[in-house]
Amino acid sequence: KHENHTPTGAFKVRGGLVYMDNLHRQNALPSGFITATRGNHGQSIPFAASRYGVPVTVYVPEGNSTEKNRAMQAWGAEQVVYGSDFDEARLESARVAEARGLTFTPSFQPDLVRGVATYAFELLTGVPDLHTVYVPVGMGSGVCGLVTVRDLLGLDTRIVGVVSTEAPAYARSFEAGHVVQTNDARTFVDGVACRLPDADALEIIQEGVERFVEVTDAEAAEAMRILYTDTHNVAESAGAIALAALLSDMASAGAEQFSGRPVAVIQTGGNVDADVLSEVLQGGTPRV
């Protein structure tokens, strides 16, 4: 499922548009928004808010993607660099929002989930006999949208969540049955680099996801190369890990186990810095 061809290059824009539209319909648009991101959510909110003339401040951690930063600013966001990772930036942005009387927009929120669920509806109605869908899990909006639409359509499609081995908070939380915070999330798969899962997202995930697969940074890079050479599509690292997980399962279980079983992978985005893509295409695995 190619979500790398949306106006912002990722699936998140669907959520931002629905979120803003709902606030507009309720005459509840605030004087300004604050949010935190590694890039795609931070493009979605200013892209949608610009339609209503509402300013957006986006917090990003140090060392964030240069080109994602530029894209956020191009959509009109004021950008603030804070903290060593997404979770530190998120906590600070929430604090500042409260202090300044602005609206904090988290990465996981009901209207955002409804918006991104439209890609799940397109996929599951277009290919209703899917056996399994592999989906990257960052803060959970995409996978929760898939679970909700699958259940509303009454399908038996299995949903497999995918995370990085270096950012396994959701996988650990899924195994434990409660939120488990990790100490760090140092991976070049920045779209899933979170340390603290959302409790509401985890509840949906536990009820509707079959299992999780963890993939290494090297496996993510290899999947990026395969998508580029075989489909001529650019995938950011998080956009490639669903394919990486499928390939890992095929290697461990045997490709014959998938014979006659339609399987989908979600290519969540294509926003990758040129230098990172160059290193990957030359056979390397970027280090953080």
pLDDT at 25: 97
Q: What is the mean pLDDT of residues 108-136?
A: 97
Band (113; pLDDT cuts 50, 70, 90)? very high
Residue 246 pLDDT exceeds 90: yes
Going by their DSSP bridges, the two strands 158-164 and 211-215 should be labelled as parallel
How far is it, in rounded angstroms, from Cα 199 to Cα 178?
Answer: 8
SS3 222: helix
Per-residue tokens: 177: 């049955």
The C-alpha atoms of residue 37 and residue 35 are separated, in whole angstroms, by: 7
Kindly give, in sequence order, each residue whose CB lies less than 8 Å from that of residue 91, ignoring residues fewer than 6 positions away.
83
In 3D, which of 287, 133, 135 has the Cα closest to residue 221?
Answer: 287
Q: Could you tell me which of 222, 232, 237, 225 has the C-alpha nearest to residue 191? A: 237
User: Are 91 and 98 spatial neighbours (Cβ–Cβ below 8 Å)?
Assistant: no
Q: Does the pLDDT of residue 254 top 90, yes or no?
A: no
Residue 118 in this model has a pLDDT that exceeds 90: yes
Q: Under a CB-based contact definition with an 8 Å cutoff, are residues 43 and 12 in contact?
A: yes
The confidence score (pLDDT) of residue 256 equals 84
Work out the average pLDDT over 240-261.
92
209 pLDDT exceeds 90?
yes
Q: What's at 133, amino acid-wise?
A: V
Flag whether pLDDT at 257 surpasses 90. no
Give the pLDDT of residue 76: 96
Rounded CA separation 272/224 (Å)? 10
Q: What percent of the chain has pLDDT over 70?
A: 100
Q: 59 and 105 in contact (C-beta within 8 Å)?
A: no
Q: Is the pLDDT of residue 157 over 90?
A: yes
Task: With beta carbons less than 8 A apart as the criterion, state whether 270 and 4 touch.
Answer: yes
* Distance in angstroms (rounded) separating the CA atoms of residues 286 and 220: 10
Is beta strand 211-215 parallel, antiparallel or unpaired with respect to 78-81? unpaired
Confidence band for 77, pLDDT divided at 50, 70 and 90: very high
Going through 85-210 in order, the beta strands assigned E by DSSP cover 103-104, 132-136, 158-164
pLDDT digits (tens, 9 = 90+) for 173-193: 999 999 999 999 999 999 999
- Which of 37, 163, 210 lies closest to 108 in space, CA to CA? 37
Q: What is the mean pLDDT of the chain?
A: 97
Q: Are 161 and 171 in contact (CB under 8 A)?
A: yes
Contact indicator for 147, 209 with CB cutoff of 8 Å: yes
